[in-house]
């Protein structure tokens, strides 16, 4: 099949003290350049109307907190640009997948066994892409924001394609053609999934729940993409309670 007719999956992460979450945006590969052009147009509009340089990275944290190039914009202006970007993303994307891990229970259950939360969440995300690609008789190229686990993930993917993923629902990732880690600053498509994943994490954490106006604005932004979410899971691994010493009666002297 022509590469342009394949799927493309864009992946990014977002985390706080409680939850580590990976988001994936899936679309036909032919849409990736159109999405980049649409987001360039969003930033061209932002430059005309608000003065932020058109080449500025669309980055969820910086836009929410008014950092770097976004610091000169008022909150309503940053919200406006965020909304324009989400509209462009929703127009091109086919689906969103979210896999979250409850960090404390994961560490208690798996850290001593050498597993890390990034690879676990990414593995579950790839499994969900695999399932949907198989049903649609498709295959996907995966692009993710660069991270310190990149080399390990590439090695793991090759193993998963040969022997299947770990866990009781082992899956052979034969529909995942390739995974490549790229610099988000240079790829509007990765910036797109960053915006969506960060917004998802922000709402799920309820960190703005005590500020009704802000929380309402977040939910209004989320409505622009929410209909495309096909998977949204938060996994809290089971941690068995510590074993209690056996209550063995002491022998008595006869």
Instruction: Give the pLDDT confidence of 6-49 residue by residue, as tens digits.
Output: 999 999 999 999 999 999 999 999 999 999 999 999 999 999 99
Q: The domain spanning residue 103 has which CATH number?
A: 3.30.420.10
Tell me the helix, strand and coil percentages in the chain, rounded to 5.
50, 20, 30
Position 58 in a domain: yes
Would residue 240 count as lying in a domain? Answer: no
Averaged pLDDT for residues 143-171 = 72
Residue 171 lies in a domain: yes
Return the pLDDT at 250: 64
Tokens 């950092």 sit on residue:
67
Of the chain, the percentage scoring pLDDT greater than 90 comes to 69
pLDDT at 169 (0 to 100): 67
Evaluate whether 14 touches 147 at the Cβ level (below 8 Å).
Answer: no
Question: Does 248 fall in a domain?
Answer: no
H/E element, 7: strand 7-15
Q: How confident is the model at residue 192 (pLDDT cuts 50, 70, 90)?
A: very high
Residue 187 within a domain? yes
- Find how far residue 234's CA is from the centre of its chain: 12
What pLDDT sits at residue 1?
A: 53
Tell me, yes or no, whether 252 lies in a domain: no
164 domain-assigned? yes
Flag whether pLDDT at 120 surpasses 90. Answer: no
What domain count does the chain have?
1
Q: Does some domain include residue 90?
A: yes
**Structural domain containing residue 197:** 3-235
Binned at pLDDT 50, 70 and 90, residue 77 comes out as: very high
Alpha carbons within 13 angstroms on the beta-carbon side of residue 144 total: 28
């Amino acid at each position: 099949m022509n590469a342009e007719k394949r799927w493309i999956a864009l992946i990014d992460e977002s985390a706080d003290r409680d939850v580590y979450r990976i988001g994936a945006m899936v679309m036909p590969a032919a849409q990736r350049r159109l999405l980049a052009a649409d987001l360039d147009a969003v930033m061209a509009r932002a430059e005309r109307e608000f003065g932020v340089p058109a080449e500025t990275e669309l980055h969820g944290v910086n836009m929410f907190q008014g950092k770097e190039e976004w610091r000169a914009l008022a909150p309503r202006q940053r919200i406006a640009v965020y909304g324009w970007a989400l509209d462009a993303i929703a127009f091109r994307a086919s689906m969103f997948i979210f896999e979250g891990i409850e960090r404390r229970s994961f560490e208690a259950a798996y850290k001593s066994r050498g597993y890390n939360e990034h690879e676990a969440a990414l593995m579950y995300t790839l499994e969900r892409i695999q399932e949907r690609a198989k049903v649609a008789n498709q295959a996907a190229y995966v692009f993710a924001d660069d991270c310190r686990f990149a080399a390990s993930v590439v090695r793991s993917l090759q193993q998963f394609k040969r022997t299947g993923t770990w866990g009781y629902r082992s899956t052979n990732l034969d529909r995942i053609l390739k995974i490549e880690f790229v610099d988000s600053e240079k790829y509007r498509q990765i910036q797109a999934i960053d915006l969506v994943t960060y917004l998802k994490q922000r709402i799920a954490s309820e960190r703005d729940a005590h500020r009704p106006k802000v929380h309402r604005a977040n939910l209004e932004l989320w409505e622009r993409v929410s209909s495309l979410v096909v998977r949204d899971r938060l996994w809290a691994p089971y941690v068995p309670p510590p074993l209690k010493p056996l209550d063995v009666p002491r022998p008595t002297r006869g």
